[in-house]
Chains A and B, each alone.
Chain A
């Protein structure tokens, strides 16, 4: 049924939400509103009798009570085809680049969740050539992981590197509240790295209207899901989910919803979960893997956004001081894959982390002015080599190269029996000097 009813009387305007008197309107339906600044989409988010509330994608600014509202009789959708690759869109699905508007094969966004009995156990490694990920907290196909970070950290640089290096057929990048510079950075980095042709971008910048911010994850994930059903391994990169949560908070407060925790709506967990749970490995088709930056206000992991996220995701990467921290980070699914990579992988990973933790203790002792023993000196050397060789974000090594480098660092610093690694492994892998 096509409804193209037009209304010329807006009853109220509060923030980004307007109400009109209309009948026969469907919940979640889209409308188009024509204001002095042009056309904008709006979505029905509440119906009370004939009072229909809509959130206006372009925001309430400049909307007049006499503006025209035309109901479109359909929900938000996104066009899906191979033509998406290399393209950039905004939160309304309009091109941000100079390419044509895509209107064919429209697919609904925010669709139903996958039947759990149709999922399969995550068991394939996704290589990123970043040693702190591949070697220490392996990313697994269909995993959902946040990158917990703090404003000012190079999380977008990290995402760009992952986009360039990850072993994925398609990359979908969703930007929420991105600084314009960061948007340009992504565009340039991906095009220089030659990854633009396998990337679709949905970008909302900080100056764009709030409502569009809320649409980005659904658009990105719906697109990813379609590619996955075409037997593609898709990696979805989202930045920054805290902005998404803040956009939800803003709309909820505008609509006078009772806030639950620090002003966030009571359904924050469900809202985040319904996005993250789109990560899936389809039994005989492709997959969706999700990496999402979540900045923690005040580096506080108990803030509602990172806290709820932690309960949803399968571990987290913790980016601090320009590095992926080995201690705060955890990939819960790594044991599904790291037993099948190379036989020294697990033992070497454990030993190197254990020694790195000893290095940290020694460093503390040194800073407090204690005398350094010979063992302490060894640890200090090891810590330096480890940080420069494996932790630096610019390092681009395959897992096997990283493992070999790990052995070399150990051999440069320690004797075999000081590493605590089983002797049959040291016999086989210890580099000959």
Chain B
């Protein structure tokens, strides 16, 4: 804490100008004193002796001449054991603790420690006196839920350090000194199990960045088979309101094949957070059998909470993600919605009277979005293990129009695009990801040729479908009509999924591969069908069989039985596998 002080000279919304003495740094945290409360703020522009600060709280009651205390520190997150299972606001205040102190409402000027300072953790040293360590290497561990939480040399220590002393195995709080390190000049630095890191800087204590190659299973067929996401990759989900962005993220947060999920509810409905809060503690993590909450951190800055901390919330969440990645874990960050974050930037930019860019978004919008998504990545850590941060962001384009600046800026930097469409969601198709516009640069869980084959059926079917709207069913040849029926069937039995059904919602990779082969077998065959009516009824029945199959537990008795019924139908229709499909299926083996 520096003794630097200033005085308020102007107030406009949550933008306050302060005349200061001494030195002030950009993005420094300061507090505005109003009556008996101190309002947390961040310096966002400095001109001469005037610093402009954005206040993270409502600014009513501030007057010119009010004192401002500068801290000399940037906005930072507290890192250490005890982050998992927490529910934070955008500034890492635990909301349940705020509720204990302030009751129903989020009264301004009340802040709490990000980590429980009373709780004792079982520390096991892994380094010896005399060891040489660098920032991001660890000297001890504590168990946190089902994870081994590594205790690091704080990321902000430059150069190498010698361990002078280290605590014995035992119980310590996060603020107790557990080791003393000496820098190259012999200066001693006591370290505890927790430290702070400025949220707007990317953690870079890794050996090298690796290409994201391993696919992250989401258990959503449409994503994993067609538009996959890699561990350490990025993807975005734009869609108009009501298209199911949040539901999709919600299911992903439940079933994704990662160690830790961080949910950043950024400027969205409070009710949705309440749903997660109510549901998650009851649900079991399918990988560990423990409560889902134990692998989850929720950062929630809902739409009615102050706008400036909404901007901070995405940085806070990505910092926590990077911290757990450093332990060799795979972390998924789900940000809902990045448009609200962009709007927060726009509001501030407007108050700063910057020259507006497209739709009044600031000119630096693109570089901010790019910098945020670039914090995802798969990295090789100093101890030789690998960790990853995957970022999935929803985008809420105005009017559902993907041409708008936030969607476009996001598309430039992500590795996969899951575009939700109004037509699909109106037709109650879930997930409403439009297979005709979406894309991914990552590796599918099935086989790229098979996935391409299926996509071609969809594309072809869609063309015939649009033609049929003009010429009618009568004007379409039986051959085309069958392709149309096949694409419709593929859509309803494979692309669509029932998120309420525990079996169907959680479709494993093995199952996706198995079902894809079966589908190619069925869709890649010619049948002895006399006319359109017969064809329609055949594929309708076939569709029903596949849907029943989807609800049966993989490799169970019911699964085998439903599959046998498909085979019987196939034989009834005198299905004959086409050459192309045959080759495709053979290649896969």
A-side interface residues toward B, CB under 8 Å? 23-29, 46-50, 75, 111-122, 142, 229, 257-261, 265-267, 269-270, 273-274, 276-278, 280, 282, 302, 304, 307-308, 310-312, 314-315, 327, 330, 332-333
Does the CB pair B63–A47 fall under 8 Å? Answer: yes
Q: Does B148 contact A (CB under 8 A)?
A: no
Contacts of A50 on B, CB cut-off 8 Å?
A: 64
| Per-residue interface assignment for chain B, residues 74 to 91, with 1 indicating a CB less than 8 Å from any chain A CB and 0 otherwise | 000000000000010000
| Per-residue interface assignment for chain B, residues 160 to 196, with 1 indicating a CB less than 8 Å from any chain A CB and 0 otherwise | 0000000000000000000000000000000000000
- Given contacts A49-B64, A115-B102, are A121 and B275 in contact (CB under 8 A)? yes
Does the CB pair A118–B10 fall under 8 Å? Answer: no
Does the CB pair B270–A116 fall under 8 Å? Answer: yes
What's the nearest-Cβ distance from chain B to residue A31, in Å?
13
Does the CB pair A260–B269 fall under 8 Å? Answer: no
Contacts of B108 on A, CB cut-off 8 Å?
A: 112
Contacts of B353 on A, CB cut-off 8 Å?
A: 258
Alpha-carbon distance between A308 and B396 when the two chains are bound, in angstroms? 10
Does the CB pair A115–B304 fall under 8 Å? Answer: no
- Given contacts A269-B340, A282-B104, are A47 and B64 in contact (CB under 8 A)? yes
Interface 9-residue window, one of B23-31, B53-61, B365-373, B512-520: B53-61
Does the CB pair A311–B63 fall under 8 Å? Answer: no
Interface 9-residue window, one of B93-101, B207-215, B441-449, B456-464: B93-101
Partner of A27, one of B61, B274, B396: B61
- Given contacts A24-B63, A25-B63, A50-B64, are A117 and B302 in contact (CB under 8 A)? no
| Per-residue interface assignment for chain B, residues 388 to 411, with 1 indicating a CB less than 8 Å from any chain A CB and 0 otherwise | 000000001011110000000000
Partner of B269, one of A28, A47, A277, A330: A277
Q: Does B277 contact A (CB under 8 A)?
A: yes
- Given contacts A49-B10, A112-B106, A113-B106, are A315 and B277 in contact (CB under 8 A)? no
Chain A, Cβ-Cβ closest to B17: A48
Q: Does B300 contact A (CB under 8 A)?
A: yes
- Given contacts A24-B63, A28-B61, A277-B302, are A261 and B275 in contact (CB under 8 A)? no
Alpha-carbon distance between A274 and B401 when the two chains are bound, in angstroms? 25
What's the nearest-Cβ distance from chain A to residue B103, in Å?
8
Partner of A118, one of B11, B99, B350: B99
Does the CB pair A119–B303 fall under 8 Å? Answer: no
Does the CB pair B360–A121 fall under 8 Å? Answer: no
- Given contacts A23-B64, A24-B63, are A117 and B96 in contact (CB under 8 A)? yes
Alpha-carbon distance between A282 and B104 when the two chains are bound, in angstroms? 8
Does the CB pair A269–B303 fall under 8 Å? Answer: yes
Contacts A113-B106, A260-B356, A273-B304 given; 12 further ones with Cβ under 8 A? A25-B64, A27-B11, A27-B62, A28-B59, A115-B98, A116-B95, A116-B277, A118-B104, A258-B350, A269-B303, A270-B344, A273-B267
Does the CB pair B106–A117 fall under 8 Å? Answer: no
Contacts of B65 on A, CB cut-off 8 Å?
A: 23-24
- Given contacts A27-B62, A258-B353, A302-B401, are A270 and B347 in contact (CB under 8 A)? yes
Would you give 12 A-B contacts (Cβ < 8 Å), ordered by A? Answer: A26-B62, A27-B61, A47-B10, A50-B64, A117-B277, A118-B99, A121-B271, A258-B350, A258-B360, A260-B359, A277-B302, A314-B269
Please report the number of residue pairs spanning A and B whose Cβ atoms sit closer than 8 angstroms.
166
Alpha-carbon distance between A25 and B63 when the two chains are bound, in angstroms? 6
Q: Which of B251-279 contact A (CB under 8 A)?
A: 267, 269-271, 273-275, 277-278
Does the CB pair A274–B11 fall under 8 Å? Answer: no
What's the nearest-Cβ distance from chain B to residue A146, in Å?
11
In this complex, the member of B107, B300, B304, B398 whose beta carbon has the largest number of chain A beta carbons within 10 angstroms is: B304
- Given contacts A115-B105, A277-B304, are A266 and B270 in contact (CB under 8 A)? no
Chain A, Cβ-Cβ closest to B61: A26
Alpha-carbon distance between A210 and B107 when the two chains are bound, in angstroms? 30
Contacts of B278 on A, CB cut-off 8 Å?
A: 120-121
Contacts of B107 on A, CB cut-off 8 Å?
A: 112
Does the CB pair A112–B105 fall under 8 Å? Answer: yes
The 3 closest A-B pairs by CB, nearest first: A302-B399, A273-B303, A277-B304
Does the CB pair B273–A116 fall under 8 Å? Answer: yes
Does the CB pair B303–A266 fall under 8 Å? Answer: no
Contacts of A117 on B, CB cut-off 8 Å?
A: 87, 95-96, 99, 277
Partner of A47, one of B11, B340, B350, B401: B11
What's the nearest-Cβ distance from chain A to residue B404, in Å?
9
In this complex, the member of A24, A26, A121, A257 whose beta carbon has the largest number of chain B beta carbons within 10 angstroms is: A26
- Given contacts A118-B104, A119-B270, are A274 and B99 in contact (CB under 8 A)? no
What's the nearest-Cβ distance from chain A to residue B500, in Å?
9
Q: Does B242 contact A (CB under 8 A)?
A: yes
Does the CB pair A27–B105 fall under 8 Å? Answer: no
Partner of B350, one of A24, A28, A257: A257
What's the nearest-Cβ distance from chain B to residue A262, in Å?
10
Contacts of A276 on B, CB cut-off 8 Å?
A: 304
Contacts of A23 on B, CB cut-off 8 Å?
A: 64-65
Partner of A270, one of B12, B96, B98, B307: B307
